[in-house]
């Protein structure tokens, strides 16, 4: 193969990994949309709000307690694969300890946080915390799979865990037996088989070693704690609005908010898929190359998400009534605000991978915390006054600030100009050629650029 063809292969392979990830996440979103429609129609806004109060906490607490271990696994295994087994052993021990802390904290705090909800909902939410360890190890396991380049397997964990949930909800709804508690069981138990399958796949890659873990602990936590702010800010940006709406508003308002949020998050698929592939790819590059790759990824993914956002703005209010029912028509204003927020948030997430890949996660931690720190006080002020639209507005302001801080950080911390965020026509044409190359290579056909 010629040197020119070898150069083409690298972006082509990366493009195909992104396409795989997008396809997997589209499938996941489709399944999630189906589960959301089933529960929204069967439980109505108040019941849907109670269901959200049940199932939010395992994912939220597990994500809060990662200490950056998933990102640290990717970074360190990519740079030192010979010690992958030791890193996995250390991550296993840390994940077990963090799971215990998360469960205890949730058990103590939930009765206070769910003060507006019936006692049986509070007790059920406490019981559902038993799946926190599985959620923690799912997050860590995805990091290990992506460090090993197993993007297809990592993608599968996103959608496959939703299938048992959808089947269970559909059966219960068809038989008229769907209640808030039973729906909650379908959600929290659906991911357990996939978690076990994923851990077995990792075991086939590397065997975890539990001797001489002291240095592995230090290495994982050194990077992990510096990147933890990124994970924490991402988690808070994803969940804190729901947590505050649960605490401050009635279950019916929470039901409306969850429906609007799930519909707006359809736009996350492109930028999250790009991020999953971008971080491992950029981790071995120099500063200039990593920033150029990240900038290009940000431009392409934001353009695609922006076009999708415009479409959702047009059909979103109608989709709320048709898919979820007329009871949710009041969520239209909240939906419009969240669409703008999700596009900007995804752009910020992609740009942050420059700092992550260059071993500067602390920069992203500081920048993200400064921006996200705006959201909680804003929500405390705006949610009581504006309801769910106040929560969406607070998120939009916070996300705009995080994007601005991230752009300024390129010059200040890396000494390099921030990448531009708009695409040129030349880039549009190059993207089209790379997609054609990716499809042709998958089919075993000659690449157009190789034939020249």
pLDDT for residue 19:
63
Neighbouring C-alpha atoms within 13 Å toward the C-beta of 245 = 31
- Mean pLDDT value across the chain: 81
Provide the 3-class DSSP secondary structure of residue 387. Answer: coil
Q: Say whether pLDDT at 184 is over 90.
A: yes
DSSP tag of 449: H
Sort 399 into a burial class: Cβ within 10 Å, 0-12 / 13-18 / 19+: buried
Does residue 132 contact residue 99 with C-beta atoms inside 8 Å?
A: yes
Mean pLDDT along residues 238-266: 87
Share of the chain above pLDDT 70, in %: 84
pLDDT tens per residue, range 49-60:
999 999 999 989
Quick: pLDDT tens for 85-104: 888 888 889 999 999 999 99
Is the CB of residue 186 less than 8 Å from the CB of residue 54?
no
Nearest Cα residue to 265 out of 446, 26, 1 = 26
Model pTM above 0.85? no
Q: Report d(CA 171, CA 169) in Å as an integer.
A: 6
Reported as a pLDDT band with limits 50, 70 and 90, residue 159 is confident
Residue 277's Cβ-count burial label (10 Å; 0-12, 13-18, 19+) is buried
**Confidence category of residue 21, pLDDT binned at 50, 70, 90:** low
Mean pLDDT of the region 402-421: 84
Q: What is the pLDDT of residue 225?
A: 83
Provide the pLDDT confidence category of residue 449 given band limits of 50, 70 and 90: very low
Closest CA to 132 of 164, 109, 100: 100
Q: How many residues in the chain?
A: 452
The domain locations on the chain are 14-444
Q: Which residues, other chains included, contact 242 with Cβ-Cβ below 8 Å and sequence gap of 6+?
A: 52, 56, 254, 257, 258, 261
């Amino acid at each position: 193969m010629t040197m020119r063809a070898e150069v083409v292969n690298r972006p082509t392979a990366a493009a195909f990994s992104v396409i795989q990830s997008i396809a997997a996440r589209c499938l996941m979103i489709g399944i999630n949309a189906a589960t959301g429609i089933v529960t929204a129609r069967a439980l109505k806004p108040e019941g849907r709000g109670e269901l959200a109060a049940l199932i939010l906490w395992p994912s939220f607490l597990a994500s809060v307690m990662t200490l950056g271990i998933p990102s640290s696994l990717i970074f360190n295994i990519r740079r030192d694969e010979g010690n992958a087994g030791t890193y996995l052993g250390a991550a296993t021990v840390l994940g077990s300890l963090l799971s215990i802390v998360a469960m205890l904290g949730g058990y103590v705090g939930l009765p206070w946080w769910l003060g507006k909800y019936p006692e049986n909902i509070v007790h059920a939410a406490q019981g559902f915390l038993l799946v926190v360890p599985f959620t923690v190890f799912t997050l860590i396991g995805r990091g290990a799979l992506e460090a090993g380049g197993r993007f297809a397997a990592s993608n599968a964990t996103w959608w496959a865990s939703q299938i048992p949930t959808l089947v269970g909800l559909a059966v219960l709804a068809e038989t008229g037996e769907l209640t808030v508690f039973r729906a909650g069981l379908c959600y929290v138990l659906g991911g357990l088989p996939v978690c076990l399958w994923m851990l077995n796949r990792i075991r086939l890659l590397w065997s975890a070693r539990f001797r001489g873990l002291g240095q592995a602990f230090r290495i994982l936590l050194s990077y992990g704690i510096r990147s933890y702010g990124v994970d924490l800010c991402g988690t808070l940006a994803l969940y804190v609005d729901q947590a505050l709406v649960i605490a401050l508003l009635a279950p019916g308002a929470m039901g409306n908010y969850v429906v609007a949020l799930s519909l707006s998050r359809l736009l996350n698929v492109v930028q999250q898929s790009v991020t999953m592939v971008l971080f491992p790819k950029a981790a071995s590059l120099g500063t200039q190359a990593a920033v150029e790759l990240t900038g290009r990824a940000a431009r392409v993914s934001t353009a695609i998400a922006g076009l999708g956002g415009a479409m959702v703005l047009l059909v979103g209010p109608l989709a709320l009534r048709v898919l979820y029912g007329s009871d949710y028509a009041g969520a239209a204003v909240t939906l419009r605000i969240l669409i703008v927020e999700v596009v900007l948030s995804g752009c910020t997430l992609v740009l942050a991978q420059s700092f992550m890949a260059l071993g500067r996660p602390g920069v992203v931690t500081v920048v993200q915390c400064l921006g996200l720190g705006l959201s909680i006080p804003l929500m405390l002020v705006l949610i009581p006054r504006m309801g769910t639209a106040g929560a969406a507005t607070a998120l939009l302001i916070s996300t705009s600030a995080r994007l601005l801080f991230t752009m300024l950080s390129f010059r200040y911390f890396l000494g390099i100009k921030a990448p531009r965020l708009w695409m040129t026509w030349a880039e549009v044409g190059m993207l089209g050629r790379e997609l054609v190359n990716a499809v042709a290579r998958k089919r075993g056909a000659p690449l157009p650029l190789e034939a020249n």
